[in-house]
Amino acid sequence: MKTVRISIIGFGAVGQGVANSILSKNEYLNEQGIDLQVVGISDSKGAEVNAQGIDLEKALKRKKEKGTVSKGKGSALEIIRDVEHEIVVEVTPTNINDGQPGLQNMLSAFNSGKHVVTSNKGPLALRFSELREASQDNGVMFRYEATVGGAVPIFNLVHEALAGNRVIRIEGILNGTTNYILTRMAEERLPYELVLKEAQELGIAETDPTYDVEGIDSACKLVIIANSIFGENATYHDVRVTGITKITPEALELGSKNNLVVKLICEAGNSNLIVAPRLVPKKHPLAVGGTLNVASILTDLAGRITISGKGAGSIETASSILSDILYIARTL
């Protein structure tokens, strides 16, 4: 049995999803010959550390009842630097102004010789090259499947399953909130403001929906694709972005009469990075509905491959994180 020790930095929806997935997959992990131990967990209020492995059921219960996992003093950085373990799972909130605290957490992890698995797109949308160099300089792995498309394995597909192919172009829908709004507007012929309100009531849209509806969240994800798959050195400022706030029910109806739907499409290839509403034929593989995400990847050998699935959710995002953890665990 190979023991692999991890820390979970950030214990919100995704961090708790990772803990729940490890608990539910215990038997599977053992069958794979992997003993996954969580030796540190932190949230914004404190931390728990246990070199022998934290009892995850108790940690989840404490978080639920007390609002924190903390059992005493300690910070994310102290866990990352001082506690012996192999993988830092960085799942703190996305910040696209300066990338913090994720950026500092990831760089500290690399500099202390630890692999990083993350769902936090902020640092990657701002400082991808620096992060990749820091991981390479320290001889450790950097995995970020969950930053784009939630459960949809875009990077694994391209880097592993499609290895040897040249990717010519990628188009996709990378934001579930805007896709839900556009789908409801088209289906119910309702105005944008009304559907946005409905989405907020359902918890699909944030109270401040700006990042989603203005296309900023999509732009951040597109930049990660551009850097990781096309080897570019872009930041989200390099993306030409148009959001969905100006789309009217009349425009959607006109499209519908011609068997077209409007979708917020992200496009990368030919060094052009664009996020904009586009007309898509109703039966096109990109025309997925509701909160679904989709990526259509055009390659030289395999042709076009399209994958679709849930772009968010605690357990769905944890699926990508667990897959990255297992990739590292098997490689160690």
The residues binding ligand NAP (CB under 6 A) are: 9-15, 42-45, 68, 76, 91-94, 101, 119-121, 146, 150, 312-313, 317
- The rounded distance, in Å, linking the Cα atoms of 286 and 316 is 20
Q: Which is nearer to ligand NAP, 76 or 134 (CB)?
A: 76
| Residue with Cβ nearer ligand NAP (101 or 269) | 101
- Smallest distance, Å, CB 327 to ligand NAP? 18
221, 282, 283, 310: the catalytic one is: 221
Q: Which residue is nearest to ligand NAP (CB)?
A: 12
Q: How far is CA 223 from CA 11, 42, 76, 220, 234, in A?
A: 26, 28, 27, 5, 6
DSSP calls for 95-140? -TTT-TTHHHHHHHHHHTT-EEEE--HHHHHHHHHHHHHHHHHTT-
- Give least dist CB 164 to ligand NAP, A: 29
Burial class (CB in 10 A: 0-12, 13-18, 19+), 155: buried
Task: Compute the radius of gyration of the chain from its Cα atoms.
Answer: 20
Pair 178, 185: CB distance under 8 Å: no
Nearer to ligand NAP, 217 or 280 (CB): 217
Tokens read off for 36: 């996954």
Q: Report d(CA 261, CA 252) in Å as an integer.
A: 7
Q: How far is CA 252 from CA 209, 244, 279, in A?
A: 21, 12, 9
CB contact set of 280 (below 8 Å; sequence gap of 6+): 260, 261, 262, 263, 265, 286, 287
Nearer to ligand NAP, 97 or 270 (CB): 97
Q: Which is nearer to ligand NAP, 78 or 187 (by Cβ)?
A: 78
Shortest separation between residue 310's beta carbon and ligand NAP, angstroms? 9
Of 29, 74, 25, the C-alpha closest to 48 is 74
Least Å from the CB of residue 163 to ligand NAP: 25
Q: How far is the CB of 119 from ligand NAP (least distance, A)?
A: 4
Q: Is 257 a catalytic residue?
A: no
Catalogue the active-site residues. Answer: 221
